Structure 1
Amino acid sequence: CLLVATDPDPWHPLSDGQRTPGTGSLTAAVETASGRKALVVGKPNTYMFDCIVERFGVDPSRTLMVGDRLETDILFGKNCGLSTILTLTGVSRLEEAQAYMASDSAAAKDLVPNYYVDSIADLIPGLDE
């Protein structure tokens, strides 16, 4: 039997500032109970993007990953060879990215976005160019 998970996110933010359990926390419970390790097919695994590239011929050098979580969205972008933008209206904070940037760990460097914006709305003016 194969245990498949969509992502490792432990929690997701709600609009009122509270959190709700994410797929990762639910997966961890099933992993513990079953004694099996899940195969994560979503971010940060490249499987999803590999399928898109194969099917649609997307050029990674012309693709931008925009996300709010360093450990899944930004790592996914880095794993896929994409440029990355962290939006600060979600889960991760700029201070976390700065701490990863200052780290001596190569793995931590993969969590550092190429760019960041305060809000995804900041990207809208650039879409006209």
Structure 2
Amino acid sequence: MRRAFVLSVLALGLAAGPAFAQQDLLLQQRAQTEMRLQEMQQQMDMARQREIATSNELMALDARLRTERGIADVRAQALSPRLPSAPQNQIYPGAPPARLDTSGLASIPDDRLAESNRRVREASARRR
């Protein structure tokens, strides 16, 4: 009886051996899968950090460009434009400028101009 019991325990042990080995294999596979998952998570985290760094660098460059453009605009506004000089006589460069004959232009005597100015001021004062 004892012998039968020992034989049955040995038989069960031999049959259970592959099951233990399979469990060990499953544990190893699960551990490898978790390691791969952690590795992929780390790679994704690193990629996200690189993306954030690149985005920050791009924003800094954009801000720098806008600042430089603003400074250039302010400098351009500060410069007074070059005014054209009086036209020179092309035929005689050293000649004085031409004189205009104003006798043909309309003229108003000073007393008439003063009287007109007075009437305009009176008319505008009445409206107020």
Alignment TM-score > 0.5, same fold: no
TM range, smaller chain: under 0.3
TM-score scaled to structure 1, two decimals? 0.15
Greater share of strand = 1
Larger Rg: 2
TM-score for both structures, normalised by structure 2 = 0.15
Q: Which has the higher contact order (CA 8 A, sep 6+)?
A: 1
